[in-house]
Amino acid sequence: MRQVLTILFVIAAIWIGVKFQHYFKESMDKAQVQIDGQPRTAPGKLPGLSIDLEPSLEEAKKNGADGIRTWLGQHRNDVEDPRYADIQLDYVVLVGRNNPAEAKRVLAAIKARVGTNSRIQKRLEQIEKVYP
């Protein structure tokens, strides 16, 4: 009887070891996916925009305020603050030349959304001086 219990104990220990190994491997795979799944940002740029979208944003900037407005409309779900606010400030600078009311509207929306400790706060304050 003692030998049967010893064999059952060894089998149970092996089974628990295999299950633990499987669990550990799954959790490591999930952690790797989370690390790899996060979008990389372009060097020297604020976080919130995948490096894959940078070329299309640069192309949109070449088309002026209308290009940025269209790009923001298409990619709003792909961009997060603080980069989203930074791109909107680029739009404000470009649209403010011809449409100061639109620039003020967008500035008010940015100011309501971002906090006082945001990374774009200094730039926001500088642009607000132009559109009081």
- The per-residue pLDDT of the chain, averaged, comes to 83
Q: Per residue in 7-53, pLDDT tens?
A: 999 999 999 999 988 888 777 766 655 555 555 666 567 777 887 88
Q: Give dist(CA 23, CA 36) in Å, integer.
A: 20
Q: In Å, how far from its chain's centre is CA 15?
A: 42
Q: Give dist(CA 95, CA 98) in Å, integer.
A: 6
**Better pLDDT: 126 or 81:** 126
Task: Pick the most confident of 69-78, 112-121, 123-132.
Answer: 69-78
pTM exceeding 0.85: no
